Amino acid sequence: MRQFLQASVLVMAAALLLSCNNNKSIEQTYLESVENIREAWAPDRRVAVFEVDVARESGTWVVAGETSSHEAWEELMVLSNRVLPPGHRFKVNMLPDAELGDSVYAQVRISVANLRRNPGHTHELVDQVILGTRLKLMKRQGGWYYAQTPYGYLGWITGASIAIHDKAGIRDWKRSDLRQVKALVSFIRQKPDETSLVVNDATMGATVKLIDEGRRYSSVELPDGRRGYIPTAHLAEQVDASVWRAPDGNKIVETAMKLHGIPYLWGGNSTKGFDCSGFTQTVYRAHAYQLPRDASQQVNTGEEIQPDEDFGNLEPGDLIFFGPENRITHVGISLGGPQFIHASSYVEINSLREGDPDYAPDRRRTLRYVKRITDARE
């Protein structure tokens, strides 16, 4: 009898071990395929959501997570049906979250709004968006929304910073007579008088709706419906980015020079403060060219230029990238030749040529690429 019991225990242990190994094999196979799907559809966490895991709960395989890629979601469904046993549960949420309904469109309603790594004011500042910028809302957590910018960047923004619209509301705004603020800083006031109470401030590149254009002041509307007056000289017609044109390098430099002296701010992307790539993005955006957000993304745009020994072939507006080997960590804008302007401790001018008063040996040593934005859209 004892021998029988011992044999039974061994059989049960072997079966359990086989089951565990089988479950481990299923999980490993599944997660390896999940990683392949991530690489195909959502390789960059800065611009796409893809958080998926698989586990056994009470004997049932459960796939849970979320993604912003419809293609990835569909491939996960196919993978689950192929690899997992019948009866598994698929709980991967497709973003935007269904609880938002049709109200997944928003616009920034203040001069500069912060995008953070996680919901909460103490978390890392990853980007900023300015007045009038259109956002796509992904999900909500308390008073915070996970939002995506027009250039794909993701971050958490406070609900108080945005005006939320449905599809019809955002369509009506886009069809309005929109104007772009061209002054570095401007104020929208209750009355057409510089002593009147400020309704909102605005930075370069902000978008407002024109209600009535006057000689000295124009009446404008903000995304949340508030109205006020702004100096007419501070407004420019909004350039249609769909009617694309290569930016003029000399005009790029002209705009960049206007920002000289503005302080550095990690995650900064407005004329109140810049990081290096926020500076280049703001300058190019003022000329209807949308660069990606980070230097490591911007380096993938444009035509590569091999600089001459004296940098004489660098043209105004060229993007200059720096960093340790195999990594891009900094970007600036060429003034033509060896000089460039960039956001370091503040927006300043340096040179790549040894012997120049503004020579920056550390930048010369870490120079990696020069890119030129050409007539071909990237």
- Supply 12's token pair: 């049960």
Please state which CATH class domain 99-172 belongs to. mainly beta
Catalytic residue from among 88, 234, 287, 330: 330
Q: How far apart are CA 75 and CA 105, in angstroms?
A: 27
Each residue's pLDDT tens digit, 145-201: 999 999 999 999 999 999 999 999 999 999 999 999 999 999 999 999 999 999 999
276 counts as catalytic: yes
Categorize the per-residue pLDDT at 10 as very low, low, confident or very high, splitting at 50, 70 and 90: very low
165 counts as catalytic: no
Task: Evaluate if residue 24 carries a pLDDT over 90.
Answer: no
Q: How far apart are CA 97 and CA 104, in angstroms?
A: 9
CATH number given to 17-95: 3.30.70
Categorize the per-residue pLDDT at 14 as very low, low, confident or very high, splitting at 50, 70 and 90: very low
Specify the range with the lowest mean pLDDT, choosing from 4-18, 219-233, 253-267: 4-18
121 counts as catalytic: no
The domain spans of the chain are 17-95, 99-172, 176-237, 249-372
CATH number given to 249-372: 3.90.1720.10
Strand 316-322 versus strand 330-336 pairing type = antiparallel
Residue 179: predicted pLDDT? 97
Claim: this prediction has a pTM higher than 0.85 = yes
Residue 126: predicted pLDDT? 98
Same fold, 99-172 and 176-237: yes
Cβ count within 10 A of residue 352 = 25
Catalytic residue from among 88, 165, 234, 276: 276
Q: Answer with the residue of higher pLDDT: 134 or 4.
A: 134
Please state which CATH class domain 176-237 belongs to. mainly beta
